[in-house]
Structures are given as C-alpha cells and as structure tokens.
Chains A and B, each alone.
Chain A
Amino acid sequence: MATELPTSRDPTHDYGSNFLERTVAAQRAPLTRYATRLLGGDVDRARDVVQDTFVKFMAQPPATVDGHAVEWLFTVCRHRALDVLRKESRMRAFAAGEAERVTTTEPRPGRTLEHAETHSAILRLIGELPPNQQELVRLKFQNGFSYKEIARITKLSVTNVGFLLHTAVARLRTEFAAQRM
C-alpha cells in the first residue's frame, strides 16, 4: 500500500525550537472545536482537554511526532475527552436520558429549512447523524484527515471508517436532496 507521507497540514520538518509551538498555535482552535463537540458542547472542559493534550505534546521529542503531529494531537485529545465523558456518564446516570445527551451534541433540528441557510441546514443534517458518524464526518471534512488517519485517531479499522463515512454521506446526500425539493 501507499507509504506514509506527512500530511499537508503538518508543519514541515524543521522541528527546531518553535516546531511544537507553531503546531500548538495552529491547532488550538481546531482541537478545541473537536473536543467541544466530543464533550457535548462544554467549551470550558474542552479547553482543559486541549491544554492537557498540549502539555503532553510539548513533552514529546519532536522527532517522535514529526510528520503526524496533527494526527497525534487529535488522537490524544480524543482519548482525553472520552476519558472525561466516561467518567461523566457515570455521574449523569442519575437522570434517565442524560446519558444520551452526553453523546448527542446537537439539539434535534426542525423539519423545515430556511432557503438562505444552506450551511446551517447542512450542519443540522450532520447533527442528525449518529454521534460516531458525526465525528468521522468532522474529522474528514472539517479537519481534512484521510481514512487512514481517522482510523488511527478513532481506533476503528480503515474499512470501518470507510463504511461509516459512506453511510453518513449517503444519508446526507439523500436528505439534502429531499430538503431542496
């Protein structure tokens, strides 16, 4: 199969003094957005998770993350966010139905769509996908990861990632077409 190439989003190899800092600066917003999504919209906790991720990142010898620094950050960030969620889902079990809310991040969208709001319409359709598909859709189309990278981040198989994204895309195609009729 294809060799592993550094992704275009990664800083180049001159990992001198500011390689890690530059990566951190560039990835803070995307990572926080990703973590916020995983954490059901809790920005504060997402920032904590991201900060924690960066602390770990800064402790890495640059050579060990070179070429896949962004993937590394997303992987670690995801791991931390899920840790938080796992613990929290224990807490929230006090109220029936709360657990679902931990993973369902979007409010249920209405059926009707406003014409001028294609973006928000699409976001709402994405919000109707199962949480795991939403995550893959965002990793793919928001963060630009390849199937293989997504597979490594989420610990799914590449085939599984392909299947889930295919399912999500097929559903979005159908529903988007239906909305426009």
Chain B
Amino acid sequence: MNASKFLPDDPKLTAYALGELEGAERAAVEAALRDDPAARAAVEEIRALGARLESALAAEVAVETASDASVPAPPLAHAAIISGRDPSKLDGGPLVDAPNFRWLPLFYYAVGGLAAASVALLVVLRTSPPVPRTSFPAPAIARAVATPAPAAMPIVAATEKVLSGDTAAKTASMPARESQAARTAKREIFRVTGSPAPMAAGSIQLSATAGSVAMNSRDGAIFSENRGLRGYVPTANLDSVAPAWAARPGADDDRLAEVRDNDFLGAAQNPLSTFGLNVGTASYANVRRLLLAHRLPPRDAVQMEELLNNFPYHYASPSGAAPIAVSLEVAAAPWAPAHRLVRIGLQGREVSLAAPSAEPKSISLPTIAQDVMLQVEFNPTRVASYRLLGYENRQLIKEDFNNGNASATASAELGAGHTVTTLYEIVPVGVDDADARVAPVDELKSRPTEIAAAPAGSRPRPVSQLRHVPPPELLTVTLRYREPAAATSQRLEVPLTDRGAQFADASPDFKFAAAVAGFGMILRESPHRGAATLADVAAWAEAGITDDTRGTRAELVELVRAAEKIER
C-alpha cells in the first residue's frame, strides 16, 4: 500500500475506523495515520459518529410488542404445515392472511388483466352478495375472487412445501415437482372456477378489450410458475385463446412471481384497447440504480411504461382548446421488422411559470388534465393482432372508459408540459406470425363481451358504439381526460394511417422510444423481444439521441452497456 496520505474521503479510512481492516491493510493505514493528523482526526470523528449511530439505532423503536412474546417459536416445518398457519406462506407464496387480505392477491389479477378478473368475479358472485358494479376497483375484485382460494389450496401448497423442503434459496419448481395430488387439485380448481356457464348467466359487464385475456395459458389457466396454485388465475372459457408463451426453461429458478407481458390480442375479437395513463418513472430509477450497482434488475421491477416515461420527448404542443396534443407515429418494429410499432405521444400544454429551468422534474408542475385514459380502436382489416407494451396492471374496462371512470383503477394525471409515451406492437393483416397468432373470431363468438346485464343494485351502463375504423386507417386513438376544475371529461379522437415507414425512416423520438422498449423487453426477458440484443438497443438509442441537453438519453446508452457487462 502506497498511501502516505489519505484523502479524507477514502473508504479505507472509514473501514479502518470501523475495525474492518485486518493484517497488512490495517498496518498500512496505521503507518499512514502516524504522519497524518487530519486523517487521525477523521478516524476519531468516524468512531464517535459510529458510537452515536449505534446508540441511536439501539434506541430505535423495536417493533416487537408484548404480544410477540407469546408467539411461540415455530415448530419444525412439516408440523407447521400440518398444524396450519396458512400453508401458502410456506411455499414462497404471498405473505397474506386470508381474512386480512391487503394488496398482494391483486398481483395475480394484474397478470390476467381486469377482463380475466371480471370473469372470475362472476364465479364468486354466485355465492357472495352482489358486488355493485361501481365498486370495481381492482383490489375489490381481488378480494372477492381470492376468497375461495385458501380453502381449496392448502393441499397443494403443503405438498409443494414438503417437496421443496429445505431452504429459502430453493423454490419449488411446480411443473417438475408437483405431485399427482397437486395436479388433480389444480385441475379441479380450474374446472370449478373456469366454468364457462357463468358467462351466459352473467350478472356484470365483461370486457374482452381489457388486454390480457389472451394471456399465456397452460392447461387453460393463467399460470404463474413457482407460485403454487395461488398463481392460477381462472380464465373461464377463454382457454381457446392461443397460449403464446411457452414455459421458459430456467424460469423456475427465478423466485419472482411475475407479471407477464401483455400478449397479442386479435383485433377482430378485441378491437378496443383501453388503459389509464401511468406517468410514473420509479421503475426507471430502480433499474438505473441496480444496473449502476452491477446488478440486473428483477424482471418485475422493469415496468415498460415507466421506463418510457422517464424520458422527455419532443411532441407537438397542443394548439387548440384541448390541454393535450396527441402525436402518432408508426414504423417497422426494429425487433420484429414484419411488425409495426405505433407510438402514441401525449404532450401536455405548457404553463408559463417563473420556475428555474434546471431540474424541471423536481418542480411540482400544475396538473392540466386528470383521469387521462386512452382507448385505441384497431381496424381489423389492417391489424391482425396487437400488443400494448407495458401497462400490465393498468388496463381498464371499457365501460370505465366510457364513463370517464379512470379513478376506478388508476389516477392518471398529466402535468403541464409533460409528455407521455405509449407503444403498441401490431401484426398487420397478412403477416403470418406464430408468436402472435390468436384464436379465430368464431371461437369467441365475435364480440360476446359487449352484452351482459348490470348486477343487481346498479344501473346498466351504456356500452360504447364502435366507430368501425374506416379501411385506410390503421387505428384511431381516443383520449379522455378531465380538466382539473371540470366536472365532466372531454374526448379527443385522432386517426392514424400507416404509410409503411421503415424503422430507419422514423423520428429520433420514435427510435429512442423503441430502444427503451427493446431494453425493457430484454430486461424483462419478454417472449416478444424477438431478435433484439443489447447491442441493437444501444444502436437504436444512439440513433434517437437528439436535443439531449440533460443527458438522459445518453445515460440510457450507458445503462445498456452496463447491462451488457453484467450479462457476460
């Protein structure tokens, strides 16, 4: 060691002061300290602070209360299963007491999308008091649907636990290890909850447009691997929809219960796609932090829409009365060139503020629109199938859209000057793509979900009239929003016609958004990432760097390179 003098901010000095150095390292620091009074003083300060920290932290409220003293040490694992705390707690499943539900079960409905959840709700309603249609926020659904689950599941959860046995590091691989009993029970549960009969007797409105119905299925049930039966979400009679995502090898190694990427939906069956804006960026911050710490983020920490919206884009500002402008662009999807990528850009009206220009994100900008929801109507003569990137847990039921009722599932606000970016991947009619193939129309009896009566105690809701997008248009985007002081929401419709642009022809903003999406898909290990590599992503991003005064786009390239290094 060659440190005759220490910089005051040398981590080694802290390590030494805290007694973390040994042997030669320690001796070297001690030698250096002899001639460095400033460093010696720093060491004393660090030690004094350490003592204060220990003392303050020791006094930090210990959360244990008297009631804990009475909690006995758990019996050995097998006994615990038999004697019955909720056995699902032992399988790596959600830590949720059945009677005290909290939020976690919702997770599985985020997987299925609200449409799947609403199908499942029907099953429950037959034995439960009617749930008013208006109380349809997702947590309520989860609560209602999940109620029967614990009764049916312990056998399987226990089985899995017994099989998986040993440590936290291992999570049972459900397909590989499940017993015959588990499989039987699983089928049984699916048979009961997945019965198509309630569809016909429906007492609530259903929507097939809420994206993820055509989710990945295995044995007809949406399947969250390694979660045991809690991961099974009934899909009612939608199991005819093609399973597009086979089980990935090695996926069971991952302890995360995952939210699957939205799958391709057939435009003929599901011409409407509806969701409430997510203007958050927290996921990007997490991804960035982890990558900079040389760790790959867990798949589910990567929320595509939050990555996309971390970056400002240069969309046209609203010129008319509306506070929001919609900018649409379409070009080839770079990860699947036969597919089309549609970018929906929203630009909130600028509000002149005497605010410093630095760090605009930290300034609380006035909200210019609330309850912002988007609905996209696809033209089935042009679009075979489509997929919304991100927003796995934000899809709305279209009745909520028509009622401007975004608050049921999301509280989307747009701040002055903010941009929001959303991407759809489209398989054009005529492109045969096994990955994106969806069920023929007649299997879903064309648009069965437009029908259905309201539940007892609530009024029937108007169902939207499809505009039937005229042939030249690829799609029409309808934006709904409410101005802050307004009681009612406004509507804005913008059509898009595809002129066949290649990716190279696209705007820099488009290229950059595609790069972010590609990055997100790779980090999520999305089955839809096609041939995209991190090197591709970096190239797309670099082609999209423009007007990057804050360096945020350049930073993405850095993060892609960081991810490349970790992957190697």
List A residues at the B interface (Cβ < 8 Å).
1-2, 20-21, 24-25, 28-30, 32-33, 36, 43-49, 51-56, 58-60, 76, 79-80, 83-84, 86-97, 99-100, 118-120, 122-123, 126, 132, 137-138, 140-142, 146-147, 155-156, 159-160, 162-163, 165-166, 169-170, 172-173, 176
Contacts and interface: CB of A to CB of B under 8 A. Distances in A.
Interface string B47-60: 00110111111111
Contacts of A25: 73
A83 B107 CA distance: 12
A90 B77 contact: no
Contacts of B77: 55-56, 58-59
B75 interface: yes
Contact of A141 (B11, B54, B298, B300): B54
A49 B95 contact: yes
A99 B284 CA distance: 11
B374 interface: no
A156 B409 CA distance: 37
A29 B64 contact: yes
Interface of B: 9-15, 18, 20, 22-23, 45-46, 49-50, 52-60, 62-64, 68, 71, 73-77, 80, 85, 89-90, 92, 94-95, 97, 100, 102-104, 106-107, 110, 138, 165-169, 255-257, 259, 278-280, 282-283, 285-286, 289, 293, 295, 298, 300-301, 303, 306, 392-394, 409-413
Contacts of B107: 87, 90-91
Contacts of B13: 166
A25 B74 CA distance: 11
Contacts of A176: 49, 52
B293 A91 contact: no
A53 B168 contact: yes
Contacts of A1: 22-23
Nearest to A119: B56
A122 B53 contact: yes
Nearest to A22: B73
Contact of A96 (B46, B80, B256, B278): B278
A79 B168 contact: yes
A88 B102 CA distance: 10
Of the listed residues A46, A90, A120, A141, the one surrounded by the most CB atoms of chain B closer than 10 A to its CB is A90
B9 A170 contact: yes
B259 A90 contact: yes
21 contacts: A21-B73, A28-B71, A48-B95, A52-B90, A56-B167, A58-B75, A60-B166, A79-B168, A79-B255, A87-B94, A88-B103, A94-B138, A94-B410, A96-B411, A99-B283, A100-B282, A132-B289, A141-B57, A142-B57, A169-B46, A173-B49
Contacts of A54: 73-74
B525 to A, nearest CB: 15
Nearest to B103: A91
A162 B280 contact: no
A32 B301 CA distance: 25
Contact of A58 (B22, B55, B73, B283): B73
A84 B102 CA distance: 12
A118 B283 CA distance: 35
